[in-house]
Structure 1
Amino acid sequence: MTKSVPAVERAFAMLEALDYAKSGMNIADLSRKLAIPRSTAHTIALTLERCGYLTRDASQRNCMLSTKAYMLGRDAVRPDRMAVAALRPMRRFSTQTLLTSHLAILDQTQAVYIQKVQGPGLVSMETYPGKRTNLHCTGVGKVLLGYASEGFRTKVLSRGVFARYTRNTITMTSLLREELRRVAEQGYALDNQEEELDIRCLAVPMFSVRNEFLAALSVSGTTQQIRDNLIPALVARLHHTARIIAERLQSGVDDAE
């Protein structure tokens, strides 16, 4: 097997790490997270910055992805048939609930958003089609992991410990396995401030008309917007919207707006 280039692997690892960091990361943090020498992290960051893929915040301390980096894969994430079929039902859902909706699929060991409709409220979700996110601490991720093949689920759970983002993040395999069991039993997943404090996310599986698992459909909002007493109604709306999307996909609807 042809050897890979360590410097290239580290550069892409740095880009992926910064994609998750909402406020950017400094060189010391990147060095610790990626387990590489600080001088190496500095050199890679400087190279990426000179190529236009990184920028600095106002303090010049934190590195962040540039617009060029975000635009790099825009053609690769053009809405596919599923995203197109989902757009109108998701717009209707978000208009009725005043909340943001997402459609995500599984890609390797992460979830990838393929469609998003921002709710009309004041709270804006920092997501976009093509953005990758974790499986263990998001609503869509738990659904995608919970309804994936047993072999894939075993592979992911074999990691042992998962990254912590808030005090609510599930980091232990045993607890995540129990969480996935609940997802299967109740037919939906809840991200209860596990990726970001004060934000909740509900997600349901979307099946084809032949009952094949396709994707995860979710709704996101603040803890005040998604209160416990509202969960049953929101889950029912999500399931209804998922069925409509599947029917539109089956009938070949192509009405991107």
Structure 2
Amino acid sequence: MPRLEGKVAIVTGGAGGIGQKTGEIFLKEGAKVILVDMNKESLDKAKSNLKHYGDVITIKADVSNENDVKNFVNKTVEKFGRIDIFFNNAGIEGKVAPIVNQHIEDFDKVFKVNVHGVFLGLKHVLAVMSKQKSGSIINTSSDAGLSGDPGIGPYAASKHAVVGLTKTAALEVASDNVRVNSIHPTSVNTRMMRSIESGINPENDSKAKEELMNEIPLDRYGETRDISNLVLFLASDDSSFITGSQYRIDGGIGAKH
């Protein structure tokens, strides 16, 4: 039997590389999937790519806007009656620069999506899951949420904040049989990494990529499927005794610390 048969799953950042691949795997495992993203054109493309795998719905929303978050949560409950899985995944990388060259506007922009967005998703989805006495939430942090990362201070700070929200939420809802965990990918072969590579070395982004890969013991970037397979495990009943945990998926980088 598929591991998510009959489950209802929301994926934010659903039109991005990790979000879309996770939506695909959820659909293949029997879930009904709601993809949430800011860009309607990208959402339409994602739906076209995934609709033959199963029941997929798209909702345009800004995760940092509380009314938008309420809307996608309410629409999901109105249609399906429940939310079983929430992949709280939307995020942005921000400006690549030392802290002394970052502006407060850059910092606020990253925190608005990466922290306010995660918080609002937790706030409104947890209310549903606690009432139904079940559910699994997976928050996307980063390996930069577990250690320092020069050049992306606002991003690293925001991803550390996700850890605090994850641990606190997990403790608050454990008695309701709701689980909350975070994942911590290193470099993944997506648009975000193209942006970071260009920020590190505008003249030679290929060299930046090579240098970043050299830091990874497994000597490659992660692929979207690598991340989605971990999310599937945490979304499924296979991880029913796991909550409040931080899962590195970093090709071995964490072993250096």
What TM-score results when the alignment is normalised by the length of structure 2?
0.28
Which structure has the highest helix share of the two?
2
Look at both structures and tell me which one has the larger radius of gyration over its CA atoms.
Answer: 1
What TM-score results when the alignment is normalised by the length of structure 1?
0.28
